[in-house]
Amino acid sequence: MGRIYTRPHLVAIRGLWKSEGRKVVFTNGCYDVLHPGHIRLLEQARSLGDILVLGLNTDSSVSRMKGPTRPINNEQDRAELAAHLAAVDAVTLFDEDTPRELIAELLPDVLIKGADWSHFIAGREEVEAAGGVVLTVPLEPGLSTTNIVKELLARQPAGASRPA
């Protein structure tokens, strides 16, 4: 089971992991409504190193990206849930629109994102300049939080009021 770290604590512990020769993998996202696609990506990412760090967007960051009705689950709940996943060793929150600053501080050995982000991977330059590797993994077709939310809303009876 992972832990939830503040950014300064995570950066400090990263120094320890580096001195121990442990390979650190980093990925990030909203992880708003956890689904099998998330789990598979995290398991694949974890298989690439000794430590998997998951950077989670804060609530305000998710809202800026996804709109005012998101996130569905608040940042503390999302972080707690993620920290309990077997593949995840460390969770930290970031409030910026991208995790570039966090990645630049952490300098993971491997940066991994879903293939839907292959056109722009924040932190790529920093990781590669430090000798790290940047990889993308294919997404699970049809599995996304946005699709889950749309499906739930579509199942509401006609005329039913939507929850606030």
pLDDT in tens, 116-162: 766 789 999 999 999 999 999 887 766 665 555 566 556 777 666 65
Question: Rounded mean pLDDT of the chain?
Answer: 89
High-pLDDT (> 90) share of the chain, %: 69
β 51-57/3-4 pair status: unpaired
Q: What is the pLDDT of residue 39?
A: 93
Q: What is the pLDDT of residue 164?
A: 53
Count of structural domains, the chain: 1
Dihedral of alpha carbons 106, 107, 109, 112, sign: positive
- Tell me, yes or no, whether 119 lies in a domain: yes
How far apart, in whole angstroms, are the C-alpha atoms of residue 47 and residue 40? 11
At 79, which CATH number? 3.40.50.620
Structural domain including 96 reads 3-154
- Tell me, yes or no, whether 159 lies in a domain: no
What's the whole-number mean pLDDT along residues 72-85?
A: 96
How far apart, in whole angstroms, are the C-alpha atoms of residue 30 and residue 81? 12
- Tell me, yes or no, whether 9 lies in a domain: yes
pTM for the whole structure: 0.86
Angle at 62 between CA 8 and CA 5, to 5 degrees: 20
